[in-house]
Structure formats: structure tokens, C-alpha cells
Amino acid sequence: GENVEQHPSTLSVQEGDSAVIKCTYSDSASNYFPWYKQELGKGPQLIIDIRSNVGEKKDQRIAVTLNKTAKHFSLHITETQPEDSAVYFCAATLGSHNDMRFGAGTRLTVKP
Amino acid sequence: GAVVSQHPSRVICKSGTSVKIECRSLDFQATTMFWYRQFPKKSLMLMATSNEGSKATYEQGVEKDKFLINHASLTLSTLTVTSAHPEDSSFYICSARAGGGGNQPQHFGDGTRLSIL
């Protein structure tokens, strides 16, 4: 089955700095990679996703990069703000399957 | 954007009670719905996958007679925790996905915190 490893487990940055979270996956057939942000007491919210036919995608301060050869993908948040503080989960899914496998999560703290 | 509504948000009940949690997709038709369990400071653990009109597919180790799932329409799935016990206390989260297969996003509800006394 698919294994998704996520690092780091915790990340603390100063407001305005960049934050990078990295994930690796095991199944080379994986073709969809979403990132979710989960705030305390809430469900995960999709913030950006990427499919295997592109290497990078950007949406304002958030970007995701994908290296299919190395089987890893990363979330980049620039100009971080305190409201970016949350737990972030990466995930990977096979196109032919119904399930999605999540990383263990990264608790991001942005200090004002 | 796609909205998934989950109710109730919190349940506190006595041991032995059965609890039903509803998950609704408000602005899209959900071909597939998923139920997850999340322990404190942990990732999401998939419990089961349900397709509209079909029996749910349960992950290994999840008791199907304990966690009853019904996906009777394209906008509603329910999870019933039967004869709940304190060890069933957890944060349960549903998600819904429109058609298109596994490379389409899942949209999550805000979860149900279940506390069994």
C-alpha cells in the first residue's frame, strides 16, 4: 500500500519568514497530491493540490513542488502570518483507487 | 467551493448508547464518501469508504458491525457507532468526493467529537 512520510513534525518560524514542509511517497503510480490545513477543532481544508503531470503549482503565498523521480513533494509558504499557524497534512492517492493516504502532519507555528 | 456539513459537532453520551453522525455535501454530488478517525495530535486514519448505493468498504481492523455506514443518496452518508464504549471516544471526520476517481480532491466536514462516559 501507499506510505506517505512527512517532515518535520513541528515547525516554528518568525512572521514573514518562509516555511517548507516535505513529503515522500512510496508508490510510483500515485498521481494526485493534495495539501490540507487543519485548525484546532476543525476538519482539514484543502489549500492546494498538484497532479503528476506538472512539477509546480502556485497560489498566492502557497506553492507546491513535485519531483516524480524522487517521489517527493513539498509545500512552500512565503511571507508567513500568524493565521498560517495550524497542522498541515500532505496526502497521496492512486488514480485507480478510492482512498487517500495522509502524512503524519506538521504543526506549524508562526510567531508574531 | 465545495462544502461538506457534518453533524453533530459534539456528542457526549453514556456507555452503551448508539450515536449517529451525518455527513452532507451541500453543493455537489458526492459519489464517494469517507469516514476517518483522528486521535489527539495524530493523523487521519481511514475507517471506511462508501459509494452511493453500495455497501461500505472497511479498512482492516475496523468492525463493520460496530461502525455502521449508510450512503443512501449522493449528498448524505451516515456513520452509526453502535453500543459505544469509552474506547470509541474520538474525533470522527467525514469527507466527500465528486466523481472522477482518486485524483479528485476530498472535501472534509468539521468533524464530530464523540465522548463516551
H-state helical runs in chain A: none
- pLDDT tens digit string along B81-111? 999 999 999 999 999 998 767 778 999 999 9
Check A99 against B46: CB less than 8 A apart: yes
Q: Poorest-confidence range of A57-66, A91-100, B47-56, B74-83? A: A91-100
Which has the closest alpha carbon to A36: A53, A18, A21, A51? A21
pLDDT value of position A66: 96
Chain B residue whose CA is closest to A53: B103
Is residue B35 within 8 A of residue B67, CB to CB? The reply is: yes
Check A96 against B43: CB less than 8 A apart: no
pLDDT value of position B114: 97
Grid coordinates representing B25?
455535501
CA B103 to CA A50: how far, in whole Å?
Answer: 9
Is residue A4 within 8 A of residue A25, CB to CB? The reply is: yes
pLDDT value of position A97: 60
Stretch B22-31: mean pLDDT: 93
CA A40 to CA A61: how far, in whole Å?
Answer: 22
Q: Quick check: B28 pLDDT over 70? A: yes
Q: Quick check: B43 pLDDT over 60? A: yes
B108 touches chain A (CB under 8 A): yes
- pLDDT tens digit string along A80-103? 999 999 999 999 987 556 578 899
From the list B51, B95, B103, which residue is nearest A31 (CB)? B103
Grid coordinates representing A95?
488514480
Using CA atoms in the order A65, A66, A70, A72, what is the torsion angle rounded to 10 degrees?
80
B103 touches chain A (CB under 8 A): yes
- pLDDT tens digit string along A7-53? 999 999 999 999 999 999 998 888 899 999 999 989 999 999 999 88
CA A109 to CA B101: how far, in whole Å?
Answer: 34
